[in-house]
Structure 1
Amino acid sequence: MIKIQIPRLVVSLLLIVLGTIWLAVFSSPDAYLHIVACDVGQGDAILMQNGSSQVLVDGGVGSRVLDCLGKYMPFWDRQIEIIVLTHPQADHFSGLIEVFKRFKVGYFLAPGVDNSTQGYQVLKDLVMSSQVQIVNPSEGMNVRLGKIYLDIINPTSKLLASENVLGSVGEIGMFTTTRDLNDFSVVFNLTFGSFDAILTGDIGQEREKAILTTGKIKEVEYIKIPHHGSRNGLTKEFLDATSPSVAVISVGAKNTYGHPHKEILDMLKTAGVKVLRTDEMGDVEIVTDGEKYWLH
C-alpha cells in the first residue's frame, strides 16, 4: 500500500485558501438594495448598499459604526462611494472620523454650516487632507449611484438665502449661523426602482412645514423618523404626506432624552405604521429588489 503524506503546512495553507474563497463567495454583494440603520446608540448611521457600492449617511458617536460596516460590507471592500453628513452635530459626525481614517471615500456631501467644536475640526482636517470630492447639498440637487437615486429637498433655497449662501461651493464649514444646526439637516428622497424612502436627519417641525411647501414630498415605503423620535420632530402633516409603511427610529437604549417620545409612537401606531427601533432590535436592515421589500 502506498501512503501519501501531505505536510501540515500545505494542509494549513489549503484550508486558508478554501476559507478565503468561501468568505468571498458568501460575502459577495447581491443586486438588492440593503438599508441598514446601524445600532450606534444615541445617534444616526445608515448604510445603503447595492452591489459593491455604498452610501453611508452619518456616522453616529465613537467607533460603533465600524462594527456595522464590517458586518455588512464585503470584507475586501475598503471604499465608500458616498458619505452624507446630514448636519455637524456629534451624534451624527463623530463616527465619521474613524471611517475616514480607514476607508477611501469618493464623495462627501455635507451642509456648508460650521460647528466650532474640536471634534468637527478634526473631521474637517481629515476631509480636507483626503482626495474626497466635497459637495454642499441643497434643494433640487440629484445624486445617482448606480440604481440608487437621491433627490435633495433640504436645505431649501430659501433657508440658504437667509444665510446669504448662494449655490454649492464645495467647502466644509464655510459659514456660521445662529440658527439650530438641525435646520440644515440634509433631507432626501431615496428611489430604487419603485421603492421610495425618505431620510430626515434631525429636522424639526418648522423645517418640515417649509419642506412641505416645496412640493417635493411624496408617499414612501420607508421613513427615518426625524431627531430620534423627539417630541419636536415628526408632525402629523409630514407623516400624512409621506404615508410610510415602515418607520425606523435610530435611538440609544435608556437614553436621557426620553426618545422616542410617546406622542410620536402613538402617532405612528394610529397611522398603522410599523415601527422598527435600534434600541430594541440592534441593527435594522430592510432589503428591497426595487418592488417588494422585507425585513432581513
Structure 2
Amino acid sequence: MKPIWKYFFGLLILVTVVVWLAVIVGSDSNLHIIACDVGQGDAILLQNASSQILVDGGPGNKVLDCLSRYMPFWDRTLEVVVMTHPQSDHYGGLIEVFRRYNVGIFLAPSVDNSTQGYQVLKDLVKASQAQIVNPQRGMKMRLGEIQLDILNPTAELQDEEPGTVGKNRLGAFSPKRDLNDFSVVFNLSYGSFDALFTGDIGPEISDQMAKQLALSDSRRVEYIKVPHHGSRNGLTGELLDVTSPEVAVISVGKDNTYGHPHEETLKILRDEDIKILRTDEMGSVEVVTDGEKWWVVGK
C-alpha cells in the first residue's frame, strides 16, 4: 500500500496542472464584450486579459451565472463596475455582485432612487472597498489597453440639480428629469475598435450625443449597445448616421410585456444594413475584437 502522502502529492500536482491549463487556455489579449442574457435588463461584461468591467447587473441574479461562466473561477475581482442609472433592471443584480465580488471602482451617476433595492445597494457599496466615481462628460478612464470616454451625463444636465457635481457619492439628489436622462454613456476604445454603450438614454439625449460626436474626429464606432432595450424612445437615426456602427446589440427579455425591441427601432437598424444581435434570440451575445477586426463567438 502506498503511503497516503503520495496520493495527496499526486492530487496536488493534478490540481496545479488543471489550474495552469485554465489560465493558459482561458486568457488571451483580445477584448471580449459579453451582453449577458439576464432577461429584461442590461448586464454587459467587458474582459481583456485579467481585467473585467461589468456594465449594469440586470434585474436579478442571472448576472451571477454569466460571471461564473465567463470569468476564471479563481477570480473574484471586478476592476470596474458601471451602473448606468439606478433603475432595477440595471442595478438589481449588482446587489449580489457586491456581496460576492470585490469591486475596485464603482462608476455611477449621483442621482438617487428611493426604492428599497437601491438603498440596499448603496449600503453595500459604501461598506465595500470600492471607490465611488460620479462620471461626467469629458472624463476619461484607462484600464490596460481599454480606454473609456464619458459622454453623458453632462455638467449642464447636472447643473439643473445644484450642488451635485464633483461629490463622488451615491444618491446625492432626486432628479426632476427622467432617470434615463442621467444614464452613463461612454465610448470604449481598444486599438482601432470602438464601442458605444448607451444605457437607457431617450431621443433627446441620443440626438445630443449625435451632435457632440459629429464634432469629433473619432465618431465612428464598430459596436453599439442599443439604448433602452430597443425601445422606440431610445435610438435615433441621427445617432446612427453619425456613428455608423457595423453591429448593434439589443439586451432584451424574451416575450417581455413592453414589446421590446420595437419595430421602429429594428427598421432604423435594418435600413442602415447594421447587423442586429439580440439576447432574447441568442442568449448571451459575445463579440470579440483584436483591436482591428471583430467577430461573434459561436455564430
Which residue identity lines up with residue 210 of structure 1 in the other structure?
Q
User: How far off is 1:12 after superposition?
Assistant: 5.2
Asked whether the 8 Å contact 2:32–2:286 carries over to 1, the reply is: yes
TM-score (norm 1): 0.94
**1:181 aligned partner:** 179
Deviation of 1:166 after TM superposition, in Å, equals 5.3
Q: For the residues of structure 1 that align with 2:193 and 2:34, how far apart are their CA atoms?
A: 15
How far, CA to CA, are the matches of 2:188 and 2:18 in structure 1? 37
1:220/1:165 CA distance change after superposition, 3 Å: farther
Code of the residue aligned with 1:51 in structure 2: it is: A
* One-letter code aligned to 1:24: V
Of 139, 142, 161, the match for 2:140: 142
Matches of 2:83 and 2:15 in 1, distance apart? 39
Task: Determine if contact 1:60/1:91 at 8 Å carries over to the other structure.
Answer: yes
Decide which moves more: 167-176 or 40-49.
167-176
Displacement after TM superposition at 1:193 (Å): 0.6
Letter in 2 for 1:161: D
Please state whether the residue corresponding to 2:234 is helix, strand or coil. Answer: coil
Q: CA deviation at 1:137?
A: 0.3
Q: Deviations 1:28-55 (Å, cap 9, x if unpaired)?
A: x211111100000000001111110111
Partner of 1:191: 189
1:151-210 CA distances to partner (integer Å, 9 max, x unpaired)?
Answer: 001001211112224532110110111211000000011100100110000000011122
Q: Is the 8 A contact 1:156 1:211 kept in 2?
A: no
Is residue 258 of structure 2 the alignment partner of residue 257 of structure 1? yes
Of 95, 98, 105, 1:97 maps to 95
Match in the other structure for 2:282: 281
- For the pair 1:25 / 2:24, whether they are aligned, the reply is yes
Task: Determine which of 110, 113, 116 is the counterpart of 1:115.
Answer: 113
> In structure 2, what is the equivalent of residue 48 of structure 1?
46
Identify unmatched segments of 5+ residues in structure 2: none
Give the match's secondary structure for 1:210. Answer: helix
Summarize deviations over 1:97-148 as a string: whole Å, max 9, x none: 1110111111001000000000000000000111111000011101111110
TM-score (norm 2): 0.93
- The one-letter amino acid paired with 2:60 is G
Matched ranges for 1:56-71 at <5 A: 56-71=54-69
CA RMSD, 1 decimal: 1.8
Name structure 1 gaps, 5 residues minimum: none
In structure 1, what is the Cα distance between the partners aligned to 2:21 and 2:241?
47
> Which amino acid in structure 1 is aligned with residue 85 of structure 2?
H
Secondary structure at 1:213 match in 2: helix
Deviates more, 1:18-27 or 1:118-127: 18-27
Shift of 1:5: 6.2
Relative to structure 1, the CA distance from residue 15 to residue 84 in structure 2 (aligned partners, 3 Å threshold; closer, same or farther) is same
Tell which deviates more after alignment, 165-174 or 108-117. Answer: 165-174
Identity of aligned residues (%): 61
Show the counterpart of 1:170. 168
Residue 240 (structure 1) aligns with: 241
Counting matched residue pairs gives: 292
After superposition, the Cα gap between the structure-2 partners of 1:128 and 1:5, relative to the gap in structure 1 and judged at 3 Å, is closer
Aligned equivalents of 2:105 and 2:20: distance in 1? 31
Which amino acid is the alignment partner of residue 61 of structure 1?
Answer: P
CA contact (8 A) 2:110 2:164 kept: no
The question of 1:82 aligning with 2:83 is answered no
